Structure 1
Amino acid sequence: MDFFGQLLVNAIMLGAIYSLAAIAYSLVYGVVQLVNFAFGELFMLGAFICISLMLPSVRLFGLEAPMPALPFLLAAPVSIAVVAAIGVVVERLAYKPLRNAPRLAPLIAAIAVSVLLQSLAQSVWGAEELSFPSFALSDLPPIILFDSIYVSVMEIVVLITALVSMLGLTLFVRRTRMGRAMTAAAEDREAAYLVGIPVNRVIALAFLIGSGFAALAGVLYAQAYGFAHPTMGFLPGLKALTAAVLGGIGSIPGAALGGMVLAVIETFGAGYLPNGSAYRDAISFAILILLLMFRPQGLLGRPELNDMPAGSLVGMLGQYARAGGVGRLFAPIDRLFERMGAGSLVLNVALFCTALALAFIITNDFWLRILIFVVTYGLLASGLNIVVGFTGLLDLGFVAFWAVGSYFTSILFILVLKNQFGVAPTDIWWLFYVNLIAGGVLAAGAGMLLGYPTLRLRGDYLAIMTLGFGEIVRIVATNWIDLTRGPMGIRGIPTPSLFGYPLNDPRHLYLVGVLLAAALLFLLSRVVRSYVGRAWVAIRENESAAEAMGVHTARYKLYAYASGGFFGGVVGVFFAHSQQYISPLSFTLFENILILMLVVLGGLGTFIGPFVGALFWIVFLQVAQGFSLFQAMPELRYALLGALLVALMVFRPQGLSARARVPLSIEK
């Protein structure tokens, strides 16, 4: 009973924080139907700004800077106000220009803003933890209930603050003029315009309040756990999103209920299930997936929210772009890429020969290894492009397929054949080539398993479910130590060989990668130009219309997931053998976001686009190391990537190689 009571107290405190952050998601989603992935970073900024204001000095940009040393009760409101203002600025600069864009554009912009804010925080405060200073309330002795249950004063403060905040927001929405205007805008934005409601002001207010709630949750979370860190908002942000979906995204009472339910399940699962503490996050995501399968609208949500994006996320991306000078700037290369999209055999063969020639032109092993990364990430982006670019389904769990291929070949070569049976990798050099196919087929099967539960979902809900699958795979890889060796990873994976001759030289590995890329892209081009590819494009342009015209959308969605999974699995095998080491750190959500950004940067629905995005980004990472600014603050490179993606979504959402898009639709 004592253990149960202590768990219950912990769950209530954690649930209050989850509820506050979930409300931040739901409030904005209810008004603009946008899953603002940047709320995790606003959560983090609230904690950092509050701690900084409470200290006499803090290191900013690597330099000691004096701070006002405010008391907690003053520093917390100031930090919340600052973050709320940042939320409004982000809405004005990144989201408002995309209000009428296809749904993928604001989602990508939200992810890009998340990367931008996290990278800026690392540049400002550094990558180290910032300890929360002690203050009067935190130093008070805990209250003891029933002689065994300890409740700190700050836990009571957290609960009261959450209850008052949620009650105040509910009264504001129901009793005030602006609150009713917010409800009207959530019901029908165009009708709200017509009756004179200042919709722009209402949306700004939703971001102001939502960002403030995210900051408040971050302050309370940092105080409860005693520190702030630039990546601290990632997991609580995902949990808050899970809570919002659990309760019914767009519903404020549902977000509060979802936060509490999630915290209770998570806390008691960690306390009572075998090895529950290691899998507590997986429990949360498993609940999310089950709920989305059987009740996508959540406990208190509206079912029509899942039906709103009748088409795909991609839509006609090129039609809303603000071309102008940007269009003229890209005109010369657009003509070149247009020939690629038309399938110019001479041009494609020339590109392939150029890629092969680079192996002999470049003699520096360092740059050859950089090119190996370009090929690897270009292929990964090509696999994700099948699902996102050709079929129009936002997949945030693609790294799971990459992980399946990598772990399959690594476990087989090292943990089974070498460690268990004493077989030397050089004696079974041919197995690498077999594993390329076997790993791809295995990952394709995983793609079918992942894709099946998503068939009832569209738009944002589909993205959220795939995110949950990806995180579960990563958590299992981290904690199933007997199979994967956990965080230690698997070392000593042999490089590819050919008839016993090791291909461990960077030049040889690069050539293997180029040949693999050529084979996979040829296969993909045949599929895309077949009836299957045309069915994918029909789903991308308008899923409802495609279904009405006789396209079996469920079947072709599964084909897309399986094809993308096959790519991920094959690349995973090559990645493991070229790097000779893998660990769960290679397969995080951030990696999935990065791969998605490469697809968008290069051009959705193109063959060359993923490689253009990978070449641009990976080469930039290395070139930037030569500049003193990026040497001092390397995180600024990712901040620049985030800013670039936001700019692309506003001015050129179709990507750098837009004209290379395969002409399978009427899009101009």
Structure 2
Amino acid sequence: MDYFGQLLANGLVLGAIYALTAVAFTLVYGVVRLVNFAFGELFMLGAFLTASLMLPEVRLIGVAVPMPGFSLPVAAAGAIALTALLGVLVDRIAYRPLRNAPRLAPLITSIAVSVVLQSLAQTIWGAEELRFPEFHLATLPPVVLFDSIYLSVMDLVVMATALAAMLGLSAFIARSSLGRAMRASAEDQMAATLVGIPVNRVVAAAFAIGSGFAALAGLLYAQTYGFAHSGMGFLPGLKALTAAVLGGIGSIPGAALGGLILGLVEALGAGYLPNGTAWKDAISFVLLVGLLYLRPQGLLGKPELNSAGRGSLLGGASDFGAVWLRAAFATFDGWLARAAAGGPRAALALLAFALLLGALVPSDYWLRILTMVVVYGMLASGLNVIVGFAGLLDLGFVAFWAVGSYLTSILFVLLLKDQFGVAPADIWWLLYLNLPLAGLVAAGFAVILGTPTLRLRGDYLAIMTLGFGEIVRVVAINWMDLTNGPMGIRGIPAPNLFGIALGSPRAQFFFALALAVLVVFAIARLVRSYVGRAWVAIREDEEAAEAMGVPTARYKLYAYAASGFVGGFVGVFYAHSQQYISPLNFSLFENILLLMLVVLGGLGTFVGPFVGALIWIVFLQLALDLPFVQAYPETRFALLGVVLVVLMVFRPQGLAASARVALTMSGARSKEAA
């Protein structure tokens, strides 16, 4: 009983921190329907700013800077105010221009802002942990409850602060004029505008309060664990989002309840399950997936929030930008449309150019870079099937990629080589069997994971698939006997053909190019079939597609299967080209990166994923020639994040959107499907 009580107390402390950040997510979501991934970085900035203001001196960008050395309450107040101001600034620059944009543009922008903030924090404070100064209350002896449960004074301060903050916010929303304006804006922004409510100011206030709550949670977390780090906001941010969804995103009491439940489940799971500490992250996401399946809107959420909204996931051109910028895009669109009209001839011309490039590039370094462009282009093409053509926002695609990579690695290395002593060179042909086999296994896995998501729409669908992806990553880390855990699998043989090693960068580039031709050809044939037309109908308006007689559940599963097949297929080549894989290769960041590549190039196009991959990977390499980037390499991610934000504001449909295939449903074929 004493052990249970101590775990319960620990869970309440952790749950209080999750609840504060969950309130930040749910407050902004309730007003503008935006899952702001940047709250994880605002969480981190709250910790860094508080620690910096408390210390007498801090190294910023490598230079020792004198600091005021405030006490914790004063430093915390300053950090919360600065973070709230930053939240308003981000809303004004990045989010406000996208109020009426297609649904995916604000989400991608929040991811880009997250990348920018994390990269800048690493540039300013460095990659090492910053020790959080000890507050004098932390030196007091712990409080003992029931003669067996120990809580530090700061643990009590954390819980009391979280409780006071959430009660204060609830009273503010319920009784103040600004709180009533927030509720009105959350119900109907157009109606709120018509009755004289300044909606933009209300949204800015929501961002300020939400950012302040994220900063408060971050500084309490850093004080509890004793450090601040540029990557510290990522996982707590995901947990807070999970808590918000558990409680019902958009409901402040639900966010508080979800945070407490999540904290308690993690603490009890870590304490009672075998190797529970290692599996506690998976426990959180299993809880998320289970609850979303049983009650999609969460414990206290509104059922109507489980909606994708009408209209395309990523629509037409933006009205923002100077006349010359719009004219330049119009010229580019005209050229691209003419090239796309060439059909097979244009595709063959692109292939000939790629072959010529692979033959003439003299540098092995750049050949490796181009190979990664092709690999990421193929992976993004697989994600494009489900996001760009079917309109289903999937944040778990990385799981299918992991299935293919691990399947071939386990067979070649852990099973045949290590267990049976078979030399990889003697079974070179197994690679070519593994390509379709891994695709089929990943496709089956995708259908299994996709089936529970059929009841979900929009952001809830994205969050559930995110949970699946994270579960697969945690399993890969902790199932040591199967995956070799965090150490990964080494010694994966390079591709081989009839005893001829294809290990040179040039050979691997041509191998990747041949696979890319197969992938794009298969996707193009599928998309131009009735199946692809059904996907596009679902993407544009699912309710209308159902009214036309399209069995949407079946075609969604087809999209999952096709996307999973591509992920598993490409994962095999990825493992053999890298010759080493680990769970770090298949993180949520990689999934987000692939989504960014699809959006950057253009959703629903065949060439867009490769355009996005080319811009992303080549930019990261060329940016290293800039003197400032050479001194601070992480700033290249910040620069690319800024480019992506600008693109979402001025060109949300993507660079190659004019190459999007126009597909329509045939009335006769629709009747057949019915």
TM-score, normalization by structure 1:
0.98
Instruction: Please say if 1:182 is aligned against 2:182.
Output: yes
Once residues 525 and 105 of structure 2 are traced to their aligned partners in structure 1, the CA distance between those partners, rounded to angstroms, is 28
Distance 2:175 2:326 in 1: 48
2:163 alignment counterpart: 163
Residue 317 of structure 1: aligned partner: 316
Bigger Cα displacement from structure 2, 190-199 vs 364-373: 190-199
User: What RMSD, in angstroms, separates the aligned Cα atoms of the two structures?
Assistant: 1.3
C-alpha displacement at 1:345, in angstroms?
A: 1.8
Aligned to 1:599: 598
SS at match of 1:520: helix
TM-score, length-scaled by structure 2: 0.97
Contact 2:318 2:651 in 1 (8 A): no
Q: 1: distance between equivalents of 2:4 and 2:147?
A: 14
In structure 2, C-alpha distance between the alignment counterparts of 1:268 and 1:178, rounded to whole Å: 39
1:307-336 CA distances to partner (integer Å, 9 max, x unpaired)? Answer: 36244533x233656573223223443233
CA positional deviation for 1:608: 0.8
Is contact 1:53–1:68 with CA below 8 Å preserved after alignment? Answer: yes
- SS state at 1:421 partner: coil
User: Which residue in 1 is equivalent to 2:672?
Assistant: none
Q: Which amino acid aligns with 2:497?
A: L
1:75 shift after superposition = 0.1
Matched with 1:304 is 304
Amino acid at match of 1:11: G
Question: 1:153-174: per-residue Cα shift (whole Å, max 9, x none)?
Answer: 0011111111111111111111
Paired residues of 2:318 and 2:650 also in contact (CA < 8 A): no
Distance 1:342 1:426 in 2: 45
Q: How does 1:232-247 map to 2 (within 5 A)?
A: 232-247=232-247
**Whole-angstrom distance in 2 between the partners of 1:623 and 1:201:** 40
Is residue 2:410 matched to residue 1:405?
A: no
Q: For 1:487 and 1:343, how far apart are their aligned partners in 2?
A: 48
Aligned: 1:55 with 2:55: yes
For residue 149 of structure 1, what is the aligned residue in structure 2? Answer: 149
Match of residue 195 from structure 1: 195
Partner of residue 577, structure 1: 576
Q: Does 2:270 correspond to 1:270?
A: yes
* Counterpart AA for 1:577: H
1:168, 1:31 → 2: CA distance? 18
Would you say the 8 A contact 2:119–2:637 is kept in 1? yes
Structure 2: which amino acid aligns with 1:563? Answer: A
Counterpart code for 1:157: V
Tell me the residue number matched to 1:344.
Answer: 343
SS of equivalent residue, structure 1 residue 594: helix
TM alignment of 1:457-468, pairs within 5 A: 457-468=456-467
Given that 2:245 and 2:297 are in contact with CA atoms closer than 8 Å, whether structure 1 keeps it comes out as yes
Q: How does 1:177-576 map to 2 (within 5 A)?
A: 177-307=177-307, 309-314=309-314, 316-318=315-317, 324-342=323-341, 344-576=343-575
**2:114 aligns to what?**
114
CA offsets per residue over residues 88-136 of structure 1, 9 Å max, x none? 1111111111111111111111111111111111111111111101121
Tell me which amino acid in the other structure corresponds to 1:28. Answer: V
In the aligned structure 2, how far is the partner of 1:152 from the partner of 1:245?
30
Contact 1:321/1:653 (8 A) holds in 2: no
SS of the residue 1:278 aligns to: helix
Shift of 1:534: 0.9
Work out the CA distance in 2 between the residues paired with 1:518 and 1:385: 16
| Whole-Å separation in 1 of the counterparts to 2:652 and 2:100 | 13
* Contact in 2 for aligned 1:374/1:614 (Cα 8 Å): yes
- In structure 2, the residue corresponding to 1:150 is in which secondary structure? strand
Write the deviation string for residues 493-526 of structure 1: whole angstroms up to 9, x where unpaired.
Answer: 0011111111111111110000000111111111
Verify the 8 A CA contact 1:137 1:154 in the aligned structure 2. yes
Q: Aligned partners of 1:335 and 1:344: how far apart in 2? A: 15
Q: Distance in 1 between matches of 2:29 and 2:92?
A: 16
Query: For the residues of structure 1 that align with 2:126 and 2:664, how far apart are their CA atoms?
Result: 48
Q: 1:354 to 1:335 in 2, by over 3 A?
A: same
Give the equivalent residue in structure 2 for 1:7.
7
* Contact preservation (8 Å) 2:173, 2:182: yes
User: What do the CA deviations read for 1:276-334 (whole angstroms, capped 9, x no partner)?
Assistant: 111101010011011111101111111111136244533x2336565732232234432
2:64 counterpart SS class = strand
For the residue of structure 2 that corresponds to 1:277, the secondary structure is: helix
CA–CA separation in structure 1 for the residues paired with 2:113 and 2:396: 20
Conserved 8 A contact 2:395-2:463: yes
Distance 1:322 1:245 in 2: 36
Q: Distance in 2 between matches of 1:428 and 1:339?
A: 47
Contact 2:318-2:652 at 8 Å conserved across structures: no
CA distance in 2, matches of 1:455, 1:392: 13
1:533 CA drift (Å): 0.8
Whole-angstrom distance in 2 between the partners of 1:319 and 1:95: 14
Q: Which moved more, 1:34-43 or 1:356-365?
A: 356-365
Residues of 2 paired with 1:206 and 1:345: CA distance?
A: 51
Residue identity in the other structure for 2:366: W
Q: Which range moves more in the overlay, 405-414 or 642-651?
A: 642-651
Q: What 5-or-longer segments of structure 1 have no aligned partner?
A: none
Asked whether the equivalents of residues 26 and 252 of structure 1 are also in contact (C-alpha less than 8 Å), the reply is yes
* C-alpha separation in 2, matches of 1:470 and 1:116: 23
Residue 187 of structure 1: how far off its partner (Å) = 1.2
Distance 2:622 2:129 in 1: 29
Cα deviation for residue 28 of structure 1 reads: 0.7
* Equivalence for 1:83: 83
Asked whether the equivalents of residues 342 and 663 of structure 1 are also in contact (C-alpha less than 8 Å), the reply is no
Partners of 2:323 and 2:461 in 1: CA distance = 34
Distance 2:254 2:264 in 1: 15
CA distance in 1, matches of 2:483, 2:647: 39
The one-letter amino acid paired with 1:111 is I
SS at match of 2:144: strand
Task: Verify the 8 A CA contact 1:396 1:589 in the aligned structure 2.
Answer: yes
Offset at residue 20 of structure 1 (A): 0.6
Conservation of the 8 A alpha-carbon contact between 2:624 and 2:636: no
Change beyond 3 A, Cα 1:598–1:323: farther
Q: Flag the 1:308–1:449 CA change in 2: closer, same or farther, 3 A.
A: closer
User: Matches of residues 23-62 of structure 1 in structure 2 within 5 Å?
Assistant: 23-62=23-62
Aligned 8 A contact 1:311 1:543 in 2: no
What letter is aligned with 2:51? I
Separation in 2, partners of 1:355, 1:662? 22
In structure 2, relative to structure 1, the CA distance for the partners of 1:140 and 1:203 (3 Å cut) is: same
Task: Give the CA deviation at 1:340.
Answer: 4.2
1:625 alignment partner, SS class:
helix
Q: Report if aligned partners of 1:101, 1:320 keep a CA contact under 8 Å in 2.
A: no
8 A Cα contact 1:311 1:539, kept in partner = no
Shift of residue 218 of structure 1?
0.4
Structure 2 unaligned residues grouped into runs of 5+: 666-674
- Aligned partners of 1:576 and 1:492: how far apart in 2? 10
Residue matched to 1:70: 70
1:603 maps to a residue whose letter is G
